[in-house]
Amino acid sequence: MAGPFEIDRRMLIAGATVLTVAGVPHGARAQETPVIDERAVLIVVDVQNDFCPGGNLAVPRGDEVVPVINALAKRFSNIVLTQDWHPAGHSSFASSHPGKKPFETVEMPYGRQVLWPDHCIQGSKGAEFRADLDVSSAQAIIRKGYRREVDSYSGFVEADRKTPTGLTGYLRERGILRAVIVGLATDFCVSWTAQDASAAGFETYVVEDACRAIDLEGSLEKAWAEMAENDITRIRVSDLPG
């Protein structure tokens, strides 16, 4: 699946709308090393079977993030998971559009939509988190893409770029100030989630070695540049306090 998945992600870049929410200031300028305390949250993005090797939309070497995230999670008292959670027949599936094939596009009310193979269907094996992902202390799971007519890449705002997932409100009510983001894939869902976290006012970090990327035709370099422009700090696990 790697070949067509890469083609699709290129198309997704071309058709993506601006990630920053209009009228909302960017997050606070992050320090080089985040403070991990009760005001920090670890956001684990989409570490699900369908996005790991053998899945329908596998990120190359995506399974390698699991032991890194498992170790990192032990340092956080606040953990949130995001999970793709599509109903059967979701509008983003090629199977919902007669005559269309996976990785082609259609126009939706919110713009161009890439058509995916059926994936992360509610209750399916592909939608499950990796069995070896050990983050049992997580307090919340943000399920996204469950509205039949709207896809969702970011953990904060759906693909129409105006429908919130509820994560911003949850974190604000919990008194969270800092978001440390890991998961799949660096240059797409992680980047979108990080940029929306910063736009919502959180001090935002992405842990490079706790993510894996598609890195298609410079997409990874572009994503890091966009994240830097949005006050997001790129760090490694070794930069975090023990």
Give the residue numbers marked as catalytic.
Answer: 46, 144, 189
What tokens appear for 110 in the block?
């919110």
Give exposure, 162-171, as e/b (b: 16+ Cβ within 10 Å). eeebebbeeb
The Cα-based distances of 219 to 110, 186, 222, 231 in angstroms read 23, 10, 5, 19
